Every structure is written in C-alpha cells, then in structure tokens.
Amino acid sequence: MYMDLIISRNPRSGEVLKEIPKSPIQSLPLVFERASRAQALWSKLSVKKRAQKLLQLREVLCRKVDELAAVIHEENGKPVIEAYICEILPAIELLTYFSGIAPSKLKDKNIKLRNPLLRYRKSTLTYWPLGTVAVISPWNYPFFLAFGDIAVAVLTGNAVVFKPSEFSSQVGLKIQELFDEAGFPTDLVQTLCGEGDLGAAIIDQKPAKIFFTGSVRTGKAIMKQASQNLTPVTLELGGKDAMIVLPDADLDYASSAALWGGYTNSGQACASVERLIVHESIAKRFAELLKEKLTHLTPGVDLGVVTMDKQKQIYEEHLLDAREKGAEFICGGIMSGDRTRMIPTLVGGAAIENTKIYNEETFGPVIAMTTFRTVQEAIQKANNSPYGLLASVITSNLSLGEEVARELHVGSVMINEVLFSAGLPETPWGGLKDSGIGRKHAEMGLYEFVNVRHINRPVMNFFSFKSLWWFPYSENQREFFRAWIRLYQGGWFEKLANTPHFLWCLVKFLKGEPRL
C-alpha cells in the first residue's frame, strides 16, 4: 500500500500526518511540456508586472503565517517561533527585496568601450529567462529554502518544477497553494512529491538549470548526472562552520552567540556553529558559561526534535568516535529517553581535532570546541576544513575582526553574529569547496536565474567603414597594430612619445589597401 505514497510523519510522535500520492515519473514529459507553455506566456510580461505579482504573493503569505507555521512545526519538528523567525519572516523579506530591485537590475545595461578607436560601437547586456528550472529542496528549512528559489525563478520569467524533500512534502504542497492562491498562471509552478528516483528523473528531463540544496553526497551525484547534458547547477551544500572567539570578547555575549548559533533548529542547519575555536586564556570560563546556559533551554519550546532517523545514526557514530579517541564531553552526548532529541552537546579536550565530530558535518545540536594561542593559528584552524560556507568572529576589536574575516576561506563571515546571514536577501549566500557552487540572494543571486546576452552594434550605421582588422592583411596594417600596442608601454612620458608614430601609422594604413 505504501509503495506509491509519501508518508508525512510527525517527527516527535511518529504519528502519520498525511499520506501523499507520489508523482508518477512517467508523467514528467507532460509536466515539462506544460511548464514550457506556461513559461512562454509568463516571460512576455514585463519584470515590473512580475514583481507586482510577487507582492500579491507576499499578501497571501502574510495572511497564512499561522497556518503555515503550524504545518512546518508538525512536519519538521522545529518550534513554532523558529518557523516564524527562520522560515516565514526571511521569505517575506526576500519577496519585498527582490520585487523592489528586479525591474532596475534586469534592465538592459550599457557597457562603455574604453578604447577611443572603438567608440563608434556600443555594447549592451540584456537579460532573459532560463526557461523551465528544477528546484530540489531539503527538509531542514523546508519552506524558506525552497520558497526563495521558486519566487526568484518566477520573478525572472522562468517556470519551476519543484520537488520538496520526501520528509517535508506537506510543506512543499503548502508552497504550491500559496502560488496558486496568489493567481500565478497554471503550470508555472508544479510541485512533484517523491523520493530520490523522482529527483533523478527530473534531471533527465534536461531542465534549463538545477537549484539544489542538500547534502554534499547528493549534490555531487546531481552534478555528475547534470554534466551528461551540460545542465548548469547551483548547489548549496554542507558546512562545518567555525566561530572564532578572540581573547578580548565579551564572554556573556560570545557564549550566547554560540548557544543560538549551534543549537537553533537543533543544529540542523548548514550554517550552524559546529566548531568553536576559543582563545586558550578564556576557554575554560567560556565553556562554563555555555554549559550553564544550555541547562536553561526547554525541549519543545527552545529545542525542536531530530527530524530524520538517519541523522541519529550519524550523531551516535560521531559521539562513539569522539569517546574512543579521548575527547572530553563537557555536557550532553546522549539521546533523550524517547530518542526524539539529542541532548545539546559540547565536546572538547586535547584530542578533539582528530575526531569525526570536529571534522565532519554532524548536522545536529553538537558543537566541538578547541583552543588557539595566536590569531594566525585560529585562522589556520578555521580554514582547515573541506567546507567553506560561513564563519563567525567574536571580538571587541572590530578592526581586528575584519582583518581575521578577510583571511577566512568561506562565502560569508559574520562579526559578532552567527548563522542568520542566510536569511538576508540583500547579501549573497553560498560557499566554497564542498559547501557548494554559485550564490543565492542579492544582485549576484538574481543573475543565477537568467541568461546574459551581450549585443554589440554601431552607434550609427557606417556601412562604408570596415573594421581595421579585416582582410586583407598588409605591412601597413602590421605596423599600425604594432604602434597601437606600443601605446600601452611604459609611463605617460613614453606613451606621449609614441603617439606621433601611432598617428602616422594610422594615416598611412587608412590611405593604403581598402578592406575586403
């Protein structure tokens, strides 16, 4: 009975919330055909009109926040307040920001050609939709991460085939409802429910681009499959994000930053603080403060549950490895009695840097802590990772904090803050190394959803003027281009000295052989 159904469960109780029919893979050609027809009409609207439609979507979203937060809470397990803070509010901000900037940022852009001999021509950049794109989203932030990609995709004139995680299919269907209720064209956004085989089949349909958020392993598989058709990808993958606490940091502030950065959404975020790199002079007091603050977090209010059972296996593997290698458990390190939660864990000690829990993405309410003596040592430790998504620096010296930030090999650095950079639509979001390819948000992210076309044309029609580099090649032509190259040589005195020879060569060349 269950083979053709997605079973949506409450991760706290295991209760079946809903049985959702799987989207048939054999229907995908028709899905993409309908999307193509819808996209062809939708893309004819001006960017301004599409932006106005995004504001209508915002109105629908604002009316449904409580209903949506309840579904996120039930299916994902995060506290309702985190659904507001980390999912719905950032989505509203994103709609507001992109609807405001898109009309100007997607206008044709003129490029001034620097060389005076080419000023009779002009260059223009134009932007046009990709077509039908695929959005494949994760379960940890099931609303915001998917919704943001879909919203920007349609704003830029694309159609979307959307596959939510099989662990958050109800949230995915709620996203579909929002676009339908806001009056977007039928088939412009189509939500398909299924597992990994459906995602692979979507890629085989050759979408114009794939936007994937999820694990490194799946991201690499998607990239390999997409390469068969040279399908471009934007990948937002994992992280093992470091927080450097410099010796001048306010320890109350720093420990509170680590508390929220490491344990919000039960640590199930690629941008979570998973590594603490604390100056040795303050490490003991810092750990004491963080441990004490952890005792005040209330399960079900501050702390959600572990959404996926297979994550529990990763936690146990990492914890066992840490124990076997002699790491020090400052607090936590066990599952709750009902196994729905991982007790918030802080682990350190001299052996910590050789453990899986320090080097591999745990994706749970676990922080591994080490120490440093010099700033350069802290930077080296932070950069010594296969990931490069986000890092934080906590310090009273903002100038020093920025110096450190400029040496960290990550996509974003937050000074005296943690994690929430991913929710800022004005700033680019994405990582290096195993953390992904491409950027979301900001003007940079907007251009991930469009093709860029360069058009070069004469300022006026000069059909009688043929370009200087056209056939036939001649000795006069060679001398002219050689004189042109010499104008780049040396300082201004030398350039001025070479100018008369250049002008003489130009005149001689223009009086010579006509262009073919």
DSSP assignment of 180-205: HHTTPPTTTEEE----HHHHHHHHHT
Euclidean distance between CA atoms 123 and 109, whole angstroms? 9
Residues sharing a CB contact under 8 Å with residue 372, sequence separation 6 or more, in sequence order: 244, 277, 278, 279, 280, 378, 381
Please report which helix (H) or strand (E) contains residue 283, including its range: helix 283-294
Q: Classify residue 461: in a domain, yes or no.
A: no
Q: What's the pLDDT tens digit per position in 288-336?
A: 999 999 999 999 889 989 888 888 999 999 999 999 999 999 999 999 8
| The CA-based dihedral angle spanning residues 359, 242, 11, 57, taken in that order and rounded to the nearest 10 degrees | -130
Q: Classify residue 515: in a domain, yes or no.
A: no
pLDDT at residue 2 in the model: 43
Residue numbers of the domain that contains 311: 241-424
Per-residue tokens: 477: 């032509």
Collapsed DSSP state (helix, strand, coil) of residue 164: coil
Out of 35-44, 143-152, 188-197, 329-338, pick the least confident: 329-338
Residues sharing a CB contact under 8 Å with residue 356, sequence separation 6 or more, in sequence order: 317, 318, 321, 322
Q: Are residues 390 and 266 in the same domain?
A: yes
Q: Are 430 and 411 in contact (CB under 8 A)?
A: yes
Nearest one of 296, 219, 236 to 260, comparing CA atoms? 296
Q: Are residues 299 and 395 in the same domain?
A: yes
Q: Classify residue 17: in a domain, yes or no.
A: no
Q: What's the pLDDT tens digit per position in 257-276?
A: 999 999 999 999 999 999 99
Q: Are residues 398 and 348 in the same domain?
A: yes
Q: Are residues 273 and 156 in the same domain?
A: no
Q: Are residues 176 and 217 in the same domain?
A: yes
Does the pLDDT at position 152 exceed 70? yes
**Nearest 5°: phi and psi at 513?**
-65, 135
- Locate tokens 């980390």: which residue? 86
Q: Are residues 193 and 272 in the same domain?
A: no
List 75, 82, 236, 274, catalytic entry: 236
Looking at residues 355-362, what average pLDDT do you find?
Answer: 97
pLDDT at residue 241 in the model: 98
Residues sharing a CB contact under 8 Å with residue 218, sequence separation 6 or more, in sequence order: 196, 212
Q: Are residues 54 and 183 in the same domain?
A: yes
Q: Are residues 95 and 199 in the same domain?
A: yes
Q: Are residues 185 and 161 in the same domain?
A: yes
Looking at residues 383-403, what average pLDDT do you find?
Answer: 98
Task: Give the count of domains, the chain.
Answer: 3
Q: Classify residue 12: in a domain, yes or no.
A: no
Q: Are residues 286 and 298 in the same domain?
A: yes
List 74, 82, 193, 270, catalytic entry: 270
Q: Classify residue 73: in a domain, yes or no.
A: yes
Euclidean distance between CA atoms 13 and 319, whole angstroms? 25
Does the pLDDT at position 201 exceed 60? yes
Per-residue tokens: 292: 């004490």
Is 193 one of the catalytic residues?
A: no
Q: Are 29 and 36 in contact (CB under 8 A)?
A: no
Q: Are residues 347 and 367 in the same domain?
A: yes
Looking at residues 8-19, what average pLDDT do you find?
Answer: 92
Is 292 one of the catalytic residues?
A: no
Distance, CA of 253 to chain centre: 28
**Nearest 5°: phi and psi at 123?**
-120, 145
Nearest one of 347, 330, 335, 270 to 303, comparing CA atoms? 335
| CATH code of the domain in which 53 resides | 3.40.605.10
Residue 462: other Cβ atoms inside 10 A: 10
Q: Classify residue 158: in a domain, yes or no.
A: yes
| CATH code of the domain in which 299 resides | 3.40.309.10
Nearest one of 180, 188, 175, 233 to 207, comparing CA atoms? 233
pLDDT more than 90, % of the chain? 90
Q: Are residues 219 and 72 in the same domain?
A: yes
Pairing mode, if any, of strands 109-111 and 121-129? antiparallel
Does the pLDDT at position 1 exceed 60? no
Looking at residues 338-362, what average pLDDT do you find?
Answer: 95
Residue 384: other Cβ atoms inside 10 A: 12
Please report which helix (H) or strand (E) contains residue 497, including its range: helix 492-510
Q: Classify residue 26: in a domain, yes or no.
A: no
Q: Are 277 and 245 in contact (CB under 8 A)?
A: yes
Does the pLDDT at position 391 exceed 70? yes
CA R_g for the chain: 28
- Locate tokens 């995680």: which residue? 165
Q: Classify residue 33: in a domain, yes or no.
A: no
Question: Angle of helix 169-181 relative to helix 65-76, nearest 10 degrees?
Answer: 160
The pTM assigned to this predicted structure is: 0.95
- Locate tokens 């996203």: which residue? 175
The helix/strand count (H/E) of the chain reads as: 18, 20
